[in-house]
Structure 1
């Protein structure tokens, strides 16, 4: 029986395969295989899920995304144009500019799922949050996810979310300090949130985690891994998470010395959420 060659697969079959690959492979590997594969990549359905690596400095896309002369990195322009308006999921990398956000909002009318990491060193950070959460299109159609690396402004960020977005579904904050005020604000103002990632957080009291677990009636995903303030095998806490589909608390301790505290890699959301598969 003659062996079937990959390069001879039909275009429809290849599109179904390519749309599952990450952007690095679509941009840097697939086009080099053969002319047939390159031509298939011109189909906009291959570019429906545009998930950029969160920290592109460790990816092969670094040069294409770190473009000081362009307000919108050429890699973002390229994949958005390749999608021809068919993109349904877009996850920005860090150091996203306001111009980049506005470019995407204008060019992606079919967008249903948008994740924007806001980084503390950016001067136009608040403008980006307002642009994403306040855009009429986003409010009308898109699910909103926000990752934030500066926990000290978490209360202000929650206020902006409440002001601008009715479709907000997910928040990720690195090394948050969860006080009674923060916990009660999350419960009262983000009552419909479905995904909450608070890895590396410090909970002042175990009760603050309980407050979120009991008050987040629509929570489906919650990650509190490598946190301080409760033990990962706390039976009472684990008993409260029964209605949450995906609850992770590995590595969390009731107490630890500062020198023993190791911040895990900042992964804003689980991959299946970033890929829109939920």
Structure 2
């Protein structure tokens, strides 16, 4: 360094400091590139600072279902209780949900679309997720009013809920008005609510609007039985309603209500090599059928 300025080598940095630096890298780089540089860097990515936010939605859409459970357990253990954001789809059973709740009680954002979890497990462990500010239970066909009520009673900070469904999932369902009632009676601090394609009526929607005074965005796309009058805008001028009879894409920014951390978006194409602790092959795009459901939009 010029003029005798202080200089410190990267390999002399504290592993925790390195972990904070590496958390700005893509998930692929953290898992496959950084550990191979040196032992110190490998130790750093094993620490919790790289795993405060975990977004493996794209990977979980394409991988074998059995791998999702193993990968989640490994990464959550690495986070050492510091996990604040978890995004994953297609959870296969209630056991992995209970593992998340037991080991990630500091979560603010939890996105679990298309997961095979039911009311009873959510009721049992909702109390462990009391710090949640945003929850996504879209396309979870086994979830109903009981789970939503438990979430509302225990997660008092909840500001955003995504409960969209696919039209195909609604076949045979006569009504989901009990879900709307559970939301209205237990989630008064909601600011953003998505309920696309739910079988609800006008009365249920008005109950939610009246019970959630802070509501700013209400997505009702595909809720064909809902008819809202022209005077709604006058009564609730701050409320933006999407649908039910037209399609508008609205992108939720979960960080808006989670000011103590920033969102990160991971772009990656493939994972080469093996997971250290679980011996899982990290190949994302190869070896899968084209008709695997990947590429579904956030809302139908």
Q: TM-score range by the shorter chain?
A: 0.5 to 0.7
| Cα displacement (A) at 1:13 | 6.9
Equivalent in the alignment of 1:192: 189
| Cα displacement (A) at 1:148 | 4.1
CA pair 23-236 structure 1, distance change in 2 beyond 3 A = farther
| Cα displacement (A) at 1:236 | 4.9
1:155 aligned onto 2:145:
yes
CA pair 75-166 structure 1, distance change in 2 beyond 3 A = closer
- 1:41 pairs, out of 42, 45, 48, with 45
Q: Which has the higher contact order (CA 8 A, sep 6+)?
A: 2
Equivalent in the alignment of 1:104: 100
1:130 aligned onto 2:123:
yes
Which structure has greater strand proportion?
1
| Cα displacement (A) at 1:100 | 1.8
Aligned ranges 1:1-278 → 2 under 5 Å: 15-21=19-25, 23-28=27-32, 30-31=34-35, 34-35=37-38, 37-53=41-57, 56-58=60-62, 62-63=63-64, 66-67=65-66, 73-108=69-104, 111-113=106-108, 115=110, 117=112, 119=114, 122=116, 125-134=118-127, 137-139=128-130, 141-143=131-133, 145-149=135-139, 154-161=144-151, 165-167=154-156, 169=158, 170-175=160-165, 183-201=180-198, 204-205=201-202, 209-219=205-215, 222-225=218-221, 228=224, 236-237=231-232, 242-243=237-238, 247=240, 249=242, 252=243, 254=245, 270-273=252-255, 276-277=258-259
- TM-score, normalising length: structure 1: 0.61
State how far apart, in whole Å, the 2-side matches of 1:210 and 1:219 are. 12
Could you say what the CA RMSD is over the residues aligned between the two structures, in angstroms? 4.7
Kindly indicate whether the alpha-carbon contact (under 8 Å) linking 1:56 and 1:94 is maintained by their aligned counterparts in 2. Answer: yes
What SS does the aligned partner of 1:67 have? Answer: helix
CA pair 98-154 structure 1, distance change in 2 beyond 3 A = closer
| Cα displacement (A) at 1:180 | 6.7
CA pair 193-272 structure 1, distance change in 2 beyond 3 A = closer
In terms of mean alpha carbon deviation, does 149-158 or 78-87 score higher? 149-158
CA pair 263-248 structure 1, distance change in 2 beyond 3 A = closer
What SS does the aligned partner of 2:66 have? Answer: coil
What SS does the aligned partner of 2:137 have? Answer: strand
CA pair 221-99 structure 1, distance change in 2 beyond 3 A = same
Q: How many positions carry a matched residue from both structures?
A: 243
CA pair 275-187 structure 1, distance change in 2 beyond 3 A = closer
Return 5+ residue gaps in structure 1 as ranges.
Answer: 256-261
CA pair 148-254 structure 1, distance change in 2 beyond 3 A = closer
CA pair 96-37 structure 1, distance change in 2 beyond 3 A = same
| Cα displacement (A) at 1:197 | 1.6
State how far apart, in whole Å, the 1-side matches of 2:59 and 2:199 are. 24
- TM-score, normalising length: structure 2: 0.57
State how far apart, in whole Å, the 2-side matches of 1:200 and 1:185 are. 17
Kindly indicate whether the alpha-carbon contact (under 8 Å) linking 2:18 and 2:44 is maintained by their aligned counterparts in 1. Answer: yes
| Cα displacement (A) at 1:89 | 3.0
